[in-house]
Chains A and B, each alone.
Chain A
């Protein structure tokens, strides 16, 4: 019995298609998680990332259906995500309504709006073509996984150093981190705390919108109202998993992508497991990882605390 399980596991983990689909599934999470990292560094647990993903996916699908261009689809996906971010940011960091109340409601609103318009517009989409990067895609195992994907996947790669630079090397990033660690001190030194927090949410929402559009145009190839299905929250978990570091966050996204890929690889390789436990696996794994890892890292000191001048 145990040897059976072991051979099964080696089968699965040596299958190259598994890593390829892990990058595809994890890539989607990585877009959202990178953006969420920036928002959390500024002190917001931005749970409307779920809504941004869905809005991005729908906007991407509709604009692709209208124009037939994946580029335009991705662009409008970003705008769709940003729109949710604007609602979230201005209601929670300008009007100082509670960030979770706003986030929950924004998510429900997006589900409603997308469902309503999906019935009317019913966008048809196709998946973008696969682009094999010469030479790089020939590296064993890693090559095909990283460099033989649909071309929108490659948008993720420049975003990684860009986000690193923005967060750790630019003045804006320094201020964002200051605002998330000690808003009172940042305020005294002349930084508009809530403005930086809003901007960080915009950054996150744009990336999430792009992630949503990528999900439709670069990964699945069709739109479905339930396609995001709580994975915005898994992206948030990826940030926790990464201990609020860039590399860790990416690694978290990839790990959860791997879990998804594992689930999809099983039946292909002829292993049958209960469908319900398989469907629950990514969420259960996320919870388990959160349980063991959350306390191991120090989170931004002002995470999820609203800032009002004169109050501590």
Chain B
């Protein structure tokens, strides 16, 4: 096993070549073509339903940034997405595919709801305690998948996903059961079954800039992104994690226990999603109440953010804002007559398209490496 093999086996940086055989301009061109392709396909999808893509584009831009107060909303939504993405990054760097963020996020929100509405105490302590317990719950839920993987060989791709469906039902049970989280206040605003609303003191502090509001969760998540980048690239634990992601055999040879490091990576990954859920609730999602549809695909979209950022934690920051912008922008689509689900399509297409250029580069790199090798041999 040479160092080059290690680089080639890299799952995490799917095909980012260390030695470049392709020129920078070709590289740029590939990216431009891929993203252009996404835009053209999206425009076509809008066109086949008889609508105007120019209007759709303007509506998205207005809804995401230009209209009053909108970019604050965008940052608010970007927060949990970025947190989920950071968790995904940690997992994928270790070669583990946790795709159950939607469920882990719900677990985190549930813990926050429990601490915030059922316990007594000073608001700040409840808030911090709820956020920590939220992260721990998400981590524990992912820990189930880690246990299944390392004790019994169940692939985490499948177990984490199945746990999502169970999480939906656990939340459903909790908010419909009187002695758990159900809101028993007869004066509650609507008939829908939800948890009680988090009391005022347990809300995340809000930052106001030029009429835009977002909570400090965004600042925290950006700091965490930089922290994750530092831990992954500059610490021993980050190194162990990456070795495990590169090659399990090499990891074992140099004394990185797949079970210990891998489990920890999955648990950390789930903790980020759990923390995201707690932040969402304390940050005001669905009026500070836990509901059945609370997660609203944030888990899935955060996962896509990590993939589109190519598991680079710092790149995940602008990507999270971009994906959140598509989401808040979609709120303005009603006037154009286009279904807001077009945004989901654009997001997934972006991820797929951005997989293509590095893959092509990798193929070309291998080809020229092989050519160079045979030249050297002759």
Residues of A within 8 A of B (CB): 45, 47, 87, 91, 95-98, 100-102, 104-106, 108-109, 111-113, 115-116, 119-120, 229-230, 233-234, 236-237, 240, 274-277, 279-280, 283-284, 286-287, 290-292, 294-295, 304, 308, 310-312
Contact = CB atoms under 8 A, between A and B. Distances in A.
B139 interface: no
A279 B349 contact: no
Interface string B305-332: 0010000000000000000000000000
Interface string B336-348: 0001011111011
Contact of A280 (B158, B165, B342): B165
Contacts of A91: 352, 355-356, 359
A236 to B, nearest CB: 6
A286 B160 CA distance: 12
A104 B92 CA distance: 13
A104 B99 contact: yes
Interface stretch (B113-121, B148-156, B218-226, B261-269): B148-156
B158 A290 contact: yes
A98 B341 contact: no
7 closest A-B pairs by beta carbon, nearest first, are A112-B344, A109-B348, A95-B359, A280-B169, A112-B345, A115-B341, A276-B173
A105 B304 contact: yes
Contact of A87 (B49, B165, B339, B352): B352
A116 B97 contact: no
Contact of A109 (B164, B168, B352): B352
Contact of B159 (A115, A287, A292): A287
Contacts, number: 144
Given A97-B359, A108-B347, A276-B169, A230 B352 contact: no
Contacts of B14: 97-98, 101
Given A87-B352, A104-B97, A96 B362 contact: yes
A91 B347 CA distance: 17
Given A230-B162, A277-B173, A311-B9, A291 B148 contact: yes
B375 interface: no
A154 to B, nearest CB: 30
A274 B173 contact: yes
Given A113-B345, A234-B162, 16 more contacts: A45-B157, A96-B363, A100-B97, A104-B97, A105-B307, A106-B352, A111-B344, A116-B345, A230-B165, A237-B158, A275-B172, A276-B176, A287-B162, A290-B158, A294-B153, A311-B5
B35 interface: no
Interface in B129-150: 148
